[in-house]
Amino acid sequence: MNAQRGTPPLTRQPGRLVSFSDAVFAIAVTLLVLEIQPPPDFGHLLRGLGALWSSYLAYALSFLLIGQVWVNHHVMFDRVRHVDRGILFLNTLLLMVIAFLPFSTSLLAGALRAEQGLRTAVLVYGSTLWMAAALFNVIWFYLRRAKLLDPTLGAFGVRAIGRRFALALIWIGSGILVGAFVPIAGVAIIAGFLPAYYLPIRGEYGEKQPGGEMTWE
């Protein structure tokens, strides 16, 4: 039976996608703490707790990084009018990478503690973050091309958000490259990524365009 003439096409609102994504982010940050196990010797508890410094460091870094991804995920999807199957698939890939981060974190903490395999651990950890950044860029490109963004964002806001996402690839990539030779320096570069990406993006709240229209570029 044909749809009635004049019936509007199906549009999926982004609410369920965002809610599901928030749940995955929450689970991922919760799983991070499970890597930190109490020391076996309670007779020297203070010393044992101090020996877990690598786990504390990796936990704090990854918790803040996932929180940063969550913030920028909202920056992106707060401006989405509706979603299609392409976005549902791409966002699923992004969440798959985020769910992998607790393992990468455990790997980094273990290598720091053992003082072995640190180069490989940093490469795996950095590559996980780089994949998340790459998917952010792919999703943003798709949203622009499919014209799924709210027109009130404005062309300036679209470009500003896109530049911030693109810079993440270079920043994290630099950390991976340096980490291949000096692992601790690579971690430091990735950690420096944190404060910059918690800052607001100029234009993310939209700008008034002549006639209220947006120029898609």
Residue-level pLDDT, tens digit, the chain, 217 residues: 444 555 455 678 888 999 999 999 999 999 999 888 888 888 888 998 898 899 999 999 999 999 999 999 998 999 898 899 999 999 999 999 999 999 999 999 999 998 899 999 999 999 999 999 999 999 999 999 999 998 888 888 889 899 999 999 999 999 999 999 999 999 999 998 888 888 887 777 765 444 444 443 3
Give ∠ CA 160-152-210 in degrees, rounded to 5: 95
| Phi, psi of 136, deg, nearest 5 | -55, -45
**CA separation for the pair 179, 200 (Å, rounded):** 28
Provide the pLDDT for residue 9. Answer: 59
Q: Is-contact 111 117, C-beta < 8 A?
A: yes
Provide the pLDDT for residue 5. Answer: 55
Query: Alpha helix (H) ranges present in the chain?
Result: 15-33, 45-50, 53-77, 85-114, 118-145, 154-179, 183-198
Provide the pLDDT for residue 103. Answer: 96
DSSP secondary structure letters along 163-189:
HHHHHHHHHHHHHHHHHTT-HHHHHHH
Straight-line distance from the first to the last Cα atom of the chain, in angstroms, rounded to the nearest whole number:
39
CA distances 172 to 107, 118, 129, 187, Å, are: 18, 17, 7, 10
Identify which of 114, 135, 136, 131 has the alpha carbon closest to the alpha carbon of residue 183: 114
> What are 178-216's pLDDT values in tens digits?
999 999 999 999 998 888 888 887 777 765 444 444 443
**CA separation for the pair 168, 158 (Å, rounded):** 16
**CA separation for the pair 126, 190 (Å, rounded):** 8
Domain spans of the chain, in order of start: 15-207
Specify the pTM: 0.86
b/e sequence 90-106, b meaning 16+ C-beta within 10 Å: bbeebbebbeebbebbb
**CA separation for the pair 215, 205 (Å, rounded):** 16
